């Protein structure tokens, strides 16, 4: 059975190569003929291999090295499933399978983009064959060993529901970046560089952006509740690898809007897709090499030459293609005003790419310095924070400004009026922050920006709702709902910006205003952090068959009043000669009380580190709002399918802006004229 999995991968490698060539040289017919069959064949074969590995895990087939290394008989079913991507070979196989699935979906939609699909599929199959080659040459998941009695089990810190979703979400995000890249290459090859490719790419990119964003957020949450060092982001190379393509994808989503609306930024938009794909391949590579020290890596896997050659191929090919199609990528229009939405979008784009470059530089600096100067120099979190914090704050400000300014020429008086409410909100935010004890100009300035953004978005919503309610004779609830349903991508984007500001509030609170205290306590002794006093009550040791759990009970009082008790734990698994610290968190919307237990000595005295992290919950709430906004924008518009004949879509004229508020304004004016007449 396991051998069949291996043979399926060998065959899939051959069909993928064949499909790649058939699409490249078969012309338009290849999308319906041999190329399509080879592509579907690859998908079926890789699916089969994935299924074989899954069955191996579920049936505890320990004659497979992979199954023996990452699962055990006692492992719960859910984690047996997640063991599918817990190891290097398994996660690569998942890459290959997801890519073949994405290619399959592309070929199903071939009738929409008849000219682009063949070349795009050729690129996808080239990438697929690269990953299949990697699997066969360096990380065969079907390697056999003499079966041990039981497997080694899954690392206990990975046995967390977040870890079931986080890796495949990130991985799927990486994989989906391949589809926009394939379409861009197809557009460059066929010289069809009009709006067609951005349309084909937008939803794929949005899906990749959503998955990467959700994957990163879940990773942050997991690090916070499970890793137990009190934070959620450490600027670790692998975290950066997940963040960078997300930032570039964000830049693309904005740049593509400008390209569609104003036919500008064409080279830029094309480049962003290529960079995003490169970064996702680079991220996949980072976790599989030892060029950088990271807590996340699989250790050296001998894949470096393969990845380096593949990335060079992408870079050289892309640079050649973009350069030779320069003339077709000329901008249709010029920038007209320094204060306009396109300028704001351009600035957003430059900042996003700038911060990505800084992160990339900081991430690979140890490797660079070793290559050039022979000494390894690393930069830590202070570097990333110092450089990125100001850039992120300007980005958040822009997230508010973008929603207020209009395309092209801006009516300054109108702009000034629309900035009154957000400006006032910023001042109110500062007053509230000061009242709650926030000090330091950086934190307060950052809060003011968040207040500004939240107010500018809410003010826009109120405005649009009132205008629409008046124009269409609806009540406010209906009007608000219809605005969302009729303009999903725009209102989804509003929600994403709102979520971003909410998330920023949490990040600012927890990074500028966190308090901590630590010490070794005997039972009965207490520790004070901020308004909280924690008293160490007792220790209880549970001896179980699989594990030993040390429970430390602490009572918590705030301002003299006992409010709860917390039980941080340390678990020692039998299979793992390694303790697992389980922090105790008392979470409220205002702040988290976070207790990290250290080792308990024979006399029961225990080391504790206690943190008070303000507003952390808002990070998760903001992330959830971002995901909901993204989903809303992703959902296909209803208006196109439901009302096909009676009301044809107005064709957007190039150079003419079509934002909701302007459309509503026109409508209101029409109604007013009608009343007067």
**Residues engaged in binding other proteins (CB under 8 A):** 69-70, 86-88, 152-155, 157-158, 228, 293, 295-299, 334-336, 338, 347, 350-351, 354, 358, 361, 366, 375-387, 390-391, 518-520, 575-581, 596-599, 601, 605, 607, 609
Provide the minimum distance between the beta carbon of 632 and other proteins in the complex, in angstroms, as a whole number.
Answer: 32
Sequence-distant (≥ 6) Cβ neighbours of residue 671 within 8 angstroms: 471
Sequence-distant (≥ 6) Cβ neighbours of residue 592 within 8 angstroms: 510, 585, 586, 611, 612, 613, 614, 616, 617
Provide the minimum distance between the beta carbon of 8 and other proteins in the complex, in angstroms, as a whole number.
Answer: 24
Sequence-distant (≥ 6) Cβ neighbours of residue 445 within 8 angstroms: 393
Give yes or no for a contact between 266 and 329, defined as CB atoms under 8 angstroms apart: yes
Provide the minimum distance between the beta carbon of 91 and other proteins in the complex, in angstroms, as a whole number.
Answer: 8
Provide the minimum distance between the beta carbon of 581 and other proteins in the complex, in angstroms, as a whole number.
Answer: 5
Cα 333-336-337 angle, rounded to 5 deg: 150
Provide the minimum distance between the beta carbon of 156 and other proteins in the complex, in angstroms, as a whole number.
Answer: 9
**Of 347 and 444, CB closest to other proteins:** 347
> In Å, how far are 533, 553, 564, 599 from 520, measured between CA atoms?
15, 14, 21, 10
Cβ neighbours, 10 Å, residue 603: 9
**Of 361 and 589, CB closest to other proteins:** 361
The two structure tokens encoding residue 505:
């509030």
**Of 235 and 447, CB closest to other proteins:** 235
**Of 54 and 391, CB closest to other proteins:** 391
Residue 195 phi/psi, 5° resolution?
-75, -10
**Of 329 and 521, CB closest to other proteins:** 521
**Of 32 and 548, CB closest to other proteins:** 548
**Of 336 and 442, CB closest to other proteins:** 336
Cβ neighbours, 10 Å, residue 532: 21
Provide the minimum distance between the beta carbon of 348 and other proteins in the complex, in angstroms, as a whole number.
Answer: 12
Give CA–CA dist 443/433, Å, rounded.
Answer: 9
Provide the minimum distance between the beta carbon of 29 and other proteins in the complex, in angstroms, as a whole number.
Answer: 44
Give CA–CA dist 420/26, Å, rounded.
Answer: 60
Residue 513 phi/psi, 5° resolution?
-120, 25
Cβ neighbours, 10 Å, residue 521: 19
**Of 366 and 509, CB closest to other proteins:** 366
**Of 70 and 131, CB closest to other proteins:** 70
Provide the minimum distance between the beta carbon of 350 and other proteins in the complex, in angstroms, as a whole number.
Answer: 7
The two structure tokens encoding residue 531:
């308004």
Give CA–CA dist 35/40, Å, rounded.
Answer: 9
**Of 234 and 415, CB closest to other proteins:** 234
Give CA–CA dist 660/647, Å, rounded.
Answer: 17
Give CA–CA dist 357/5, Å, rounded.
Answer: 40
**Of 18 and 70, CB closest to other proteins:** 70
> In Å, how far are 42, 210, 270, 315 from 186, measured between CA atoms?
21, 24, 11, 15
- Sign for the pseudo-dihedral over CA of 157, 160, 162, 166: positive
- 610 forms bridges with which residues in the sheet? 517, 595
Provide the minimum distance between the beta carbon of 358 and other proteins in the complex, in angstroms, as a whole number.
Answer: 6
The alpha carbon of residue 549 and the mean position of all alpha carbons in its chain are separated, in whole angstroms, by 35
Provide the minimum distance between the beta carbon of 502 and other proteins in the complex, in angstroms, as a whole number.
Answer: 26
**Of 157 and 430, CB closest to other proteins:** 157
Provide the minimum distance between the beta carbon of 380 and other proteins in the complex, in angstroms, as a whole number.
Answer: 5
Cβ neighbours, 10 Å, residue 175: 25
Sort 213 into a burial class: Cβ within 10 Å, 0-12 / 13-18 / 19+. buried
Give CA–CA dist 80/72, Å, rounded.
Answer: 8
């Amino acid at each position: 059975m396991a051998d069949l999995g291996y043979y399926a991968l060998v065959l899939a490698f051959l069909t993928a190569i064949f499909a790649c060539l058939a699409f490249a040289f078969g012309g338009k017919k290849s999308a319906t003929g041999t190329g399509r069959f080879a592509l579907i064949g690859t998908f079926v074969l890789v699916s089969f291999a994935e299924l074989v590995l899954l069955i191996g895990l579920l049936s505890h087939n320990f004659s497979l090295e992979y199954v023996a290394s990452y699962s055990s008989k006692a492992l719960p079913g859910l984690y047996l499933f997640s063991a599918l991507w817990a190891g290097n070979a398994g996660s690569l196989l998942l890459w290959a399978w997801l890519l073949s699935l994405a290619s399959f979906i592309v070929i199903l939609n071939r009738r929409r983009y008849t000219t682009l699909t063949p070349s795009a599929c050729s690129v996808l199959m080239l990438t697929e064959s690269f990953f299949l080659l990697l699997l066969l040459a360096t990380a065969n998941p079907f390697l056999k060993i003499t079966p041990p009695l039981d497997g080694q089990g899954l690392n206990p810190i990975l046995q967390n529901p977040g870890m079931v979703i986080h890796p495949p979400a990130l991985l799927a995000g990486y994989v989906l970046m391949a589809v926009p890249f394939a379409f861009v290459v197809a557009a460059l090859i066929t010289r069809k560089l009009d709006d067609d490719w951005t349309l084909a790419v937008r939803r794929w990119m949005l899906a990749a952006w959503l998955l990467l964003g959700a994957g990163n957020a879940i990773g942050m949450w997991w690090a916070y509740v499970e890793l137990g060092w009190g934070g959620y982001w450490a600027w670790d190379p692998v975290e950066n690898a997940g963040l960078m393509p997300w930032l570039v994808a964000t830049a693309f989503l904005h740049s593509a809007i400008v390209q569609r609306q104003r036919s500008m930024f064409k080279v830029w938009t094309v480049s962003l897709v290529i960079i995003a794909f490169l970064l996702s391949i680079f991220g996949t590579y980072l976790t599989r090499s030892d060029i950088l020290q990271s807590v996340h890596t699989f250790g050296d896997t001998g894949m470096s030459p393969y990845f380096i050659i593949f990335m060079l191929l992408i870079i050289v090919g892309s640079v050649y293609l973009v350069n030779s199609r320069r003339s077709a990528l000329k901008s249709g229009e010029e920038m007209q005003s320094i204060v306009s939405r396109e300028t704001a979008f351009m600035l957003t784009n430059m900042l996003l790419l700038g911060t990505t470059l800084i992160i990339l530089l900081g991430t690979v600096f140890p490797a660079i310095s070793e290559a050039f100067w022979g000494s390894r120099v690393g930069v830590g979190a202070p570097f990333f924070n110092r450089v990125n914090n100001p850039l992120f704050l300007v980005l958040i400000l822009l997230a508010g400004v973008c929603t207020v300014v209009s395309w092209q020429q801006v009516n300054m008086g109108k702009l000034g009026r629309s900035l009154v409410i957000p400006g006032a909100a910023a001042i109110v935010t500062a007053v509230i922050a000061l009242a709650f004890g926030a000090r330091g100009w950086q934190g307060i300035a950052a809060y003011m920006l968040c207040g500004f953004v939240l107010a500018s978005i809410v003010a826009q919503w109120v405005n649009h709702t009132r205008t629409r309610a008046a124009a269409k004779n609806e009540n406010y609830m209906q009007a608000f709902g219809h605005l969302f349903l009729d303009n999903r991508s725009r209102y989804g984007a509003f929600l994403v910006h709102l979520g971003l500001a909410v998330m920023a509030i949490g990040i600012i609170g927890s990074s500028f205003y966190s308090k901590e205290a630590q010490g070794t306590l005997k039972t009965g002794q207490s520790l004070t952090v901020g308004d909280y006093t924690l008293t160490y009550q007792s220790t209880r040791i549970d001896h179980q068959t699989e594990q030993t759990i040390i429970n430390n009970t602490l009572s918590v009082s705030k301002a003299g009043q006992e409010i709860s008790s917390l039980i941080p734990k340390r678990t020692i698994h039998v299979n793992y000669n390694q303790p697992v610290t389980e922090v105790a968190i008392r979470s409220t919307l205002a702040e988290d009380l976070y207790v990290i237990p250290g080792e308990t000595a024979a006399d029961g005295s225990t080391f504790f580190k206690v943190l008070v992290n303000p507003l952390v919950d808002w990070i998760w709430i903001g992330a959830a709002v971002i995901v909901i906004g993204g989903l809303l924008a992703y959902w296909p518009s209803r208006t196109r399918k439901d009302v096909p004949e009676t009301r044809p879509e107005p064709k957007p004229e190039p150079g003419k802006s079509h934002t909701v508020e302007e459309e509503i304004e026109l409508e209101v004016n029409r109604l007013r004229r009608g009343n007067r007449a």
